[in-house]
Amino acid sequence: MTGPATAANARDEHPRVEVSGVAVSVDHYIGGRRVASAGTFEDRSPLDWGWKLADVSRGDAVDASAAVGAAVDAAPGWAALGPSGRGGLLRRLADLIDDAVPELAKVECADMAMLEESLRLRVLSRGARNFRAYADLAEAHEERVWTSGGTRNRVVRMPAGPTVVITPWNAPFMLSTWKTAPALAAGNPVVLKPAEWSPLSCSLLADLADAAGLPPGVLNVVQGIGEEVGAALVSDPRVRRVSFTGSPETGRVIASAAAANLVPFTGELGGKGPFIVFADADLDAAAAKAAAMYDDAGQVCLAGTRLLVEAPVRDELVSRFYAHVDRHVLGDSRDPATTVSPLIHPEHLARVAGFVDRARARGDRVLRGGRVWRDGGLWYEPTLVEPAGNDSEIVQREVFGPVLTLQTFAGEDEAVELANSTDYGLSALVWTRSEARAERVGRAVRAGTVWVNTFLVRDLTAPFGGIGISGIGREGGDYALDFCSDLKTLQILEGSTDREESDDG
């Protein structure tokens, strides 16, 4: 049952919890107001599982309906602002995000244990970039205009309408802005449901949207459990787009709910990226980057977690890799010296450990790590497994932890065959000094993004997404704006209208 709404926009009057010195609302943000649910769910810090952060409002079907209703009400006004009216507000929001980075970093570090320094220096400012990039793109869009068959034709982008955004617990603020920004820039009000394991930084996003002057109902944030309020949101027939990031398993469920209403769905799903090292590569650079796959405890969908190394350089690559892994420091994510954080949740730690235990039991060789680090904490040692075969579960399924596998290949064909041998296809890394090979292998590998001799460099105008069970649809640039729009073809019979009156320029 939905409780009474608190005073509208009353940042100071509304009850908040303090997280690392930052006041955070634990309630929904619906129609420009903070709204509490009768029920709550518990949010704990992975830094210290005894540290309870908050009891967060546990949204239900009534809250979901209220949030979609607020988005429906806000839709005409938001659409009428046009790209530049919306762009001005979204750029103001971006500026406020930049100003709030230190507070956001403290809260997200406590909530999901991502390294505070990397949040502060790198990850959170991407949230601001997301809003600026889409404000710019929506404004710069030029309608396609041409003449054929005696008609003047024009492709018009119309806002699609209320959009539900569902996001995962890793990098929650950045990933939520990545999906929210194109929807808002395209003219769609959003209902965002962050993951229940790291809900707090998205509550701060609601405050920032409020402070930026986004009209009530344009951005709504609903907290709660996926199977409860999340399921209610994605099956509401008033919703016109569903944009999801998370696991392939949940993606299937949500895609089915959207399909029942014939609503377009986009899903950025899991990854099991190959990390291909050819003998001609800069082996030290490759080894250093491979060791960096343990950053954020490996909880990164884009990580290249299957090391595929050309056989003659296997030992050299591994010894250089170990030298880099030795420099990793497991510890408290608030400490700048720490490079490997704890995992998000005891259930996730058990899941990661289960993969390695089953691998060991079936005859895969654990070359390094393979244990929980320090009883009572949520750290798992950086782990390298040499599988008995390519069909091993640990090769074929996403672990989403600090676990890499090691396999060798002989020549390009086998490298590509191994790279393409899972059901996933989100990202891949290729290390070689040969331009021709980079082109050949880069084209042959089945993945939405292939990085050659680098990693995580992103141009926000480029398409981004997965193949196979790694995703449906493409985000990034105009691809996301098209997804968030209904495209209309407007055809006017040439010579049938008075140019002066009909030409809107």
Q: Which residues are catalytic?
A: 268, 301
Closer residue to ligand NAD in complex, CB, 97/472: 472
Residue keyed to tokens 């790279």: 419
Q: Which residues of 103-131 are buried (b: 16+ CB within 10 A; e: fewer)?
A: bbbbbbbbbbbbbbbbbbeebbbbbbbbb
Closer residue to ligand NAD in complex, CB, 232/317: 232
Which run of H or E residues covers position 41?
strand 40-45
The binder of ligand NAD chosen from 6, 40, 247, 261 (CB under 6 A): 247
Phi, psi of 104 (to 5 degrees): -60, -40
SS3 76: helix
Neighbour count for residue 47 (Cβ, 10 Å): 23
Sheet of 365-368: strand order equals 365-368, 383-386, 403-409, 304-310, 273-277, 427-431, 449-452
Q: Contact between 422 and ligand NAD (CB under 6 A)?
A: no
Q: Contact between 243 and ligand NAD (CB under 6 A)?
A: no
CB of 379 to ligand NAD, least distance (A): 18
Which range touches ligand NAD (CB under 6 A), out of 17-25, 88-96, 117-125, 226-234? 226-234
* Nearest position to ligand NAD, beta carbon: 226
Closer residue to ligand NAD in complex, CB, 234/378: 234
Which range touches ligand NAD (CB under 6 A), out of 83-91, 121-129, 189-197, 436-444? 189-197
Which range touches ligand NAD (CB under 6 A), out of 33-41, 163-171, 214-222, 329-337? 163-171
Which range touches ligand NAD (CB under 6 A), out of 130-138, 243-251, 309-317, 411-419? 243-251
Q: Of residues 56-95, which lie at the interface with ligand NAD (CB under 6 A)?
A: none
Which range touches ligand NAD (CB under 6 A), out of 57-65, 239-247, 314-322, 487-495? 239-247
CA distances from 145 to 151, 159, 484 (A): 11, 19, 20
Which run of H or E residues covers position 419?
helix 411-419
* Contact string (CB under 6 A) for ligand NAD, positions 255-274, x = contact: -------------xxxx---
Q: Contact between 53 and ligand NAD (CB under 6 A)?
A: no
Q: Contact between 45 and ligand NAD (CB under 6 A)?
A: no
Q: Which residues touch 276 (CB under 8 Å, ≥6 apart)?
A: 308, 409, 415, 419, 428, 429, 430, 431, 441, 445
Q: What is the phi-psi region of residue 190: left when phi exceeds 0, alpha when psi lies from -120 to 50, beta otherwise?
A: beta
* Contact string (CB under 6 A) for ligand NAD, positions 445-484, x = contact: ---------------------x----x-------------
Task: Work out whether the CA dihedral 385, 391, 394, 395 comes out positive or negative.
Answer: positive
Tell me, what DSSP letter sits at residue 343? P
Which run of H or E residues covers position 232?
helix 231-234
Closer residue to ligand NAD in complex, CB, 231/283: 231
The binder of ligand NAD chosen from 301, 317, 352, 378 (CB under 6 A): 301
Residue ranges that bind ligand NAD, judged by CB under 6 A: 166-170, 175, 193, 195-196, 226-227, 230-231, 234, 245-247, 250, 253-254, 268-271, 301, 398, 400, 426, 466, 471
